[in-house]
Amino acid sequence: MLLILLFSTVVALFLGALLIHYSHLHEQFSADHDLTGVQKFHAKPVPRVGGVPVMAGLCAGCFLLKYLTGSLLPVLLLLSSVPAFGAGLIEDITKKVGPWPRLLATFVAGVIAFFLIKAGLSRVDIPGVDLLLQQWWPISLLLTVVAVGGVAHAVNIIDGYNGLSGVVAVFIFLAMAYVAFKVQDVELMGLCFAMIGAVAGFLFWNFPRGLIFAGDGGAYLVGFMIGEISVLLVQRHAEVSPWFPLLCVIYPVFETVFSMYRRKFLQRRAIGYPDALHLHQVIYKRVVLWMVGSKDAAHLTQRNSLTSPYLWALSSFSVVPAMLFWNNTPVLIGFVLVFIASYIYLYRMIVRFRTPHWMLLRKSARP
Q: What is the mean pLDDT of residues 297-304?
A: 88
Rounded to two decimals, the pTM is: 0.94
Please choose, from the candidates 281, 158, 284, the residue with its C-alpha nearest in 3D space to the C-alpha of residue 226: 158
Contact between residue 68 and residue 30 where contact means Cβ atoms under 8 Å apart: no
Euclidean distance between CA atoms 201 and 209, whole angstroms? 14
Q: What's the pLDDT at 39? A: 47
Could you tell me the residue range of the domain that residue 208 belongs to?
2-363
Indicate the burial class of 262 (C-beta count within 10 angstroms; 0-12, 13-18, 19 or more): middle
Q: What is the mean pLDDT of residues 249-270?
A: 91
Count the domains in the chain: 1
pLDDT at 359 over 50: yes
**Which letter does DSSP use for residue 189 in this model?**
H
Give one DSSP letter per residue of 298-318, joined into a string.
HHHHHHHHHHHHHHHHHHHHH
Q: What's the pLDDT at 34? A: 60
Contact between residue 219 and residue 156 where contact means Cβ atoms under 8 Å apart: yes
> How many Cβ atoms from other residues are within 10 Å of residue 261's Cβ?
12
Question: 352 CB contacts (<8 Å, ≥6 apart)?
Answer: none
Mean pLDDT for the chain?
92
pLDDT at 66 over 90: yes
CA angle, 161 then 189 then 76, to 5°: 90
The end-to-end CA distance of the chain, in Å, is: 50
Region of residue 128 (left: phi > 0; alpha: psi -120 to 50; beta: else): left
Q: Tell me if residue 2 falls in helix, strand or coil.
A: helix
Amino acid at position 268, single letter: R
